[in-house]
Structure 1
Amino acid sequence: MAINLQKGQRIDIGLADISVGLGWEPNESGASFDLDASAFMIDANRLIPGEQFFVFYGNADSPDGALHHSGDDPTGGNSDGGDDEIIKVDLTKIDPRVKEILFVVTIHDAFSKKQNFGQVRDSYIRIVDNATAKEIARYELGEDFSIETGVEFGRLYVKDGKWKFEASGRGYKEDLAFFLSKYFKGQIIK
């Protein structure tokens, strides 16, 4: 049975071949919501070693072959109750400089569409064992994100040589550019 994580809760992963799935349901108001999952591979200085270590639908694979993004789901309709975007992770291939993988979800064009996470239903991040296809942990975003347009959902990180997962749940009234400026060394990524 999967562990239902609370904000800030941490668990040992104990696996090397996993998927991180993101799911949400389209808003019933008729407006489409385009949520985008991204992974920031971060070094000991809390920066991305290079542009290729930012994995998203436009850069589907990390340079070490450890991460693969399934592609963009602009509507939340790719799955009926399942994952809309998936990032596959092979922890045995992680570049040794990478100490953390941060999973961020943003709403595309949130400001112009006046959208936020409080208007999205049933959004979650989950960890799946690729060998068995069984869910091992899930973190569901509550409704307390009424103004946020970007959320650090969770992170994988190394501690004492072992990979762990934390359900972060840190919301921001920011777009993807904010996260790029936070984790890049002054580079502008388009």
Structure 2
Amino acid sequence: MSAMDPPATVTSVTFGIGWDGVSAGGRAGLDLDLSAFALDAAGAIVSDQHFVFFNNAMSPERAIVHAGLPSAQFQETMTVHTGQLGSSVRRVVVGVTAYNGEGNFGRFSGGHIAVSDSVGGQLADYDLYLHMAGALAVAYGEVYRDGGGWRFRALGERFDSLGAMAATYGVNV
């Protein structure tokens, strides 16, 4: 995984996931999900409301927004509005999981994640289907404070489930 840093003028970073909609085994209706964790300086969730996913689509300050509406390029997006994040938020980790444990990323033909900034620059693009075929859940990347600005870093940390990822960051599940 490689990544580029957003320019200093960036006000938001968007993560988008897409896939062909049919599994590599021919099963239709498989679903990948994005989740985000707003973490403090100790690496713990700021509050359970700062765990953003399909059942909690927005952080309290509206700085992190999940959208599950399909577009031409993505089935889901997660946007981090960096200027709206509270001062206690030091980083936002964004993860990808298969909905309801429907299998590993190798079942999602064409599965990919891309990261872009508010000025149209692409920060990262990664093929989940090809490079994370055996993964069930992954903390893909993070947006983190660096001095007076924000940077992006690819992570690639694997987890057994969304619950395991949430527990790692201190979410009460």
Task: Name the residue aligned to 1:152.
Answer: 139
The answer to whether the 8 A contact 2:97-2:137 is kept is yes
Amino acid of the residue matched to residue 122 of structure 1?
G
Amino acid of the residue matched to residue 18 of structure 2?
G
Label 1:170 to 1:141 Cα distance change in 2 as closer, same or farther (>3 A). Answer: farther
3-state SS of 1:12 partner? coil
Task: Name the residue aligned to 1:108.
Answer: 99
3-state SS of 1:13 partner? coil
Matched, 1:118 2:119: no
Amino acid of the residue matched to residue 143 of structure 2?
L
Label 1:17 to 1:188 Cα distance change in 2 as closer, same or farther (>3 A). Answer: closer
Measured against aligned partners, the alpha-carbon deviations of 1:48-105 in whole angstroms (never above 9, x if no partner) come to 011110011111111122111113x6xxxx345x111111221111111111111101
Among 36, 39, 62, the alignment partner of 1:39 is 36
1:58-97 alignment, distance < 5 Å: 58-71=55-68, 78-80=70-72, 82-97=73-88
Matched, 1:166 2:161: no
The answer to whether the 8 A contact 1:126-1:135 is kept is no
Matched, 1:51 2:25: no
The answer to whether the 8 A contact 1:124-1:138 is kept is no
Percent of pairs identical after alignment?
27
In structure 1, C-alpha distance between the alignment counterparts of 2:95 and 2:105, rounded to whole Å: 13
Measured against aligned partners, the alpha-carbon deviations of 1:137-188 in whole angstroms (never above 9, x if no partner) come to 232135242321001111111122321111222223x11110111111xx53
Matched, 1:12 2:9: no
In structure 2, C-alpha distance between the alignment counterparts of 1:56 and 1:169, rounded to whole Å: 19
Matched, 1:127 2:124: no
In structure 2, C-alpha distance between the alignment counterparts of 1:12 and 1:41, rounded to whole Å: 19
Unaligned runs of 5+ in 2: none
Aligned residues: 168
Question: Post-superposition shift, 1:10?
Answer: 4.2
Task: Name the residue aligned to 2:89.
Answer: 98
3-state SS of 2:106 partner? helix
Label 1:136 to 1:144 Cα distance change in 2 as closer, same or farther (>3 A). Answer: closer
- TM-score, L = length of structure 2: 0.86
Which runs of at least 4 in structure 1 moved beyond 4 Å after TM superposition?
Answer: none
In structure 2, C-alpha distance between the alignment counterparts of 1:176 and 1:52, rounded to whole Å: 16
The answer to which of 25-34 and 88-97 deviates more is: 25-34
Amino acid of the residue matched to residue 139 of structure 1?
D
